[in-house]
Structure 1
Amino acid sequence: MIFINKDVRLKVVLLLLVVTINQSVAQKKAGVENSVFWEVSGNGLAQPSYLFGTFHLMSHRYADSLTQVSSRFAAAKTHVSEILLDSTMSGKMMTAAQLEGTTLDRLLTPEQFKQTNDWLQELSGYDLKMFNSINPMTIQVLLTALLQQRHYPLDPIKDIAMDLYFQQRAAKEGKQLIGLETFDDQIHAIFGQFTYERQAQLLVATVAEKDKALTELKSMNKLYREGRLTQLETLMADQVYTPKEAAVMLDNRNKKWMQQLPGIFRQQSTFVAVGALHLAGENGLVMLLRNAGYTVKPLLTK
């Protein structure tokens, strides 16, 4: 993205990698208790490990204010995240976001292109023509990030996205770093399963209901700060993804991660930070770990 510097671009890449996925619950499921922070023990573990549900649009300063989260993080020997981020991610994501064989103005009708352009200009001052070679899913997530920045502004240089912050802090403190999936895994979940036409449908639906998008974003910020996981899950049930799409983006990934987490937990105390909605529902990590025989209890964040 030519209009933002390198540091900000990496934060947008982080959003592209994880925000879309964590807005993908397509049906209501069995809930778990209201918390975004959990202790995992029992089932032969010598020491407890921890699950923390992040909000990818919030900064490290909010994470630092969560005293109980911070203390458990400091004590853990291993840090686990969805994907290990590095300086190569920006270029990789921009390559993956490029359209092949078409352009955005061909995928959208003139009126749809104008409506999307008007909203982008309102939020950023930039023209959609600058992004005519970028796929619709990327534009949709960019609009969400810009909407968050408009109403919950962060310093684009000083503030660090929450997930990236935990990784950087873990590296500084000498913790073992583990990513649960690869860049290619996440690219498939975000882009690979969607045709360009389906991506365009999702973008158009978001733009057509931009007032609803703002209402939901404000609710999401409030519910997350209050630790109301079940209400976050219910809010996300109104999203437009099909059950099959949601399974690829969320449930299937949780089940794949469960093939790795027990072995990681057996080694040493671990702090897992993944998008909050990966913890919710009958196919969320909390329930999957309980079904595997672990004791998973909610903790206060402060």
Structure 2
Amino acid sequence: MKKVIKLAVVFAAVVLSGNLHAQEKKVKLENSLLWEISGNGLTEPSYLYGTMHMMCEDDFLIKEKVEKAFENTDKLALELDFDDPSELMAMQSMTTSTIPLSERLSKEDYATLDNFLQTKLGVKASQFENYTLIGIMSVVMFKSLNCPPKMYEVEFMQQAMANKREILGLEKVEAQVTGFSESYTDEEFIDQLKYYDTSYFDEMVAVYKEENLNGLYEMVIDEKFMDADAKTIMLDNRNKNWVAIMPELMKVQPVFFAVGAGHLPGENGVINLLRNAGYSVKPVLK
């Protein structure tokens, strides 16, 4: 399980980087992280929960309404299947490389990264020669959090395993890595690292505790993280792929879907896409 938690930190690094700026139709949602999915032929409701992939243990809370919804479902669906050994291996491979970092990056990008790491962490880039940029981001994020972390995906997975429930993944690690490479140049990726500091996490946690999906979405689509093309790749397309899979899963048994909260709002968010597909998606307020 320790290995799963370590890899989940990498997963958090990948998903928290899925941010952007784009013009789109505003879809304002009620303040709730938990949503009931019903109608359109479903005999029992499924549930959709927006997670924050990593936060301090002291801030972590699973509310009673979430526990009840989880108990009323038969399967758990996460963005990635942490129960699949091949997916765990794929996540591990995301963080390391046999080609030294100094050879993979241009001299300019390497110098920029080296300066950042010395300023931020007090270490040189040479200490990360066998890391990928995603691996380095996971280290930066963990250091910025500056506390013992907890992750909703891991907590839900542990509960599902204890109750012998099937755990599913809505996509593969390979799809996330491909999306990342198509969205960022090395220079853009390195430039983003400076934004992941304690104040960023504190602000996000405060908005998350309010269950303010609209506020979270505004943070997620901030233009300093991603442009409109990257938004399409990192959020919109992935949301559409998930919503194409979800009906078949829900038709057989009720499912508890837990994905990053930033994927729920927006014109192409999971909630609006499910509604467009004919489902009733309502906030669970208590």
TM-score interval (norm. to shorter): 0.7 to 0.9
Q: Which residue of 2 aligns with 1:203?
A: 190
One-letter identity of the residue aligned with 1:202: F
Pairwise mapping of residues 147-296 of structure 1 onto structure 2 (< 5 A)? 147-148=144-145, 150=146, 153-154=147-148, 160-190=150-180, 192-194=181-183, 198-207=185-194, 213-238=197-222, 239-296=224-281
Task: State the distance in 2 between where 1:172 and 1:60 align.
Answer: 21
Contact 1:54 1:162 in 2 (8 A): yes
Per-residue CA distance 1:150-196 (angstroms, 9 max, x = gap):
2xx22xxxx64211221221122122221111121122123x3156x
Deviation at 1:111, TM superposition (A): 5.3
Task: State the distance in 2 between where 1:35 and 1:161 align.
Answer: 19
Task: State the distance in 1 between where 2:57 and 2:43 align.
Answer: 30
What is the TM-score of this pair, normalised by structure 2?
A: 0.85
Task: State the distance in 2 between where 1:71 and 1:194 align.
Answer: 38
Task: State the distance in 1 between where 2:111 and 2:69 align.
Answer: 52
Q: Which residue of 2 aligns with 1:96?
A: 94
Task: State the distance in 2 between where 1:118 and 1:75 align.
Answer: 49
Between stretches 31-40 and 289-298, larger displacement belongs to 31-40
In the alignment, which of 37, 45, 49 is matched to residue 46 of structure 2?
49
Q: Which residue of 1 aligns with 2:114?
A: 113
Deviation at 1:97, TM superposition (A): 3.5
Task: State the distance in 1 between where 2:13 and 2:219 align.
Answer: 20
Per-residue CA distance 1:196-236 (angstroms, 9 max, x = gap):
xx1233323442x56xx443322111000110010111122
Deviation at 1:292, TM superposition (A): 0.9
Which sections of structure 1, spanning at least 5 residues, go unmatched?
none
Tell me the secondary structure at the aligned position of residue 153 of structure 2.
Answer: helix
Between stretches 232-241 and 260-269, larger displacement belongs to 232-241
Identity in percent: 28
Contact 1:76 1:269 in 2 (8 A): yes
Task: State the distance in 2 between where 1:169 and 1:205 align.
Answer: 34
Deviation at 1:6, TM superposition (A): 4.3
Aligned length: 278
Deviation at 1:128, TM superposition (A): 3.1
Deviation at 1:12, TM superposition (A): 2.5
Contact 1:9 1:90 in 2 (8 A): no
Between stretches 138-147 and 53-62, larger displacement belongs to 53-62
Q: Which residue of 2 aligns with 1:69?
A: 66
Task: State the distance in 2 between where 1:56 and 1:92 align.
Answer: 19
Deviation at 1:267, TM superposition (A): 1.1
What is the TM-score of this pair, normalised by structure 1?
A: 0.81
In the alignment, which of 22, 28, 31 is matched to residue 27 of structure 1?
22
One-letter identity of the residue aligned with 2:231: A
Which sections of structure 2, spanning at least 5 residues, go unmatched?
none
Task: State the distance in 2 between where 1:260 and 1:253 align.
Answer: 11
Contact 2:78 2:169 in 1 (8 A): yes
Task: State the distance in 2 between where 1:31 and 1:25 align.
Answer: 16
Tell me the secondary structure at the aligned position of residue 121 of structure 2.
Answer: helix
Q: Closer, same or farther in 2 for the Cα pair 1:35/1:183, shift >3 Å?
A: same
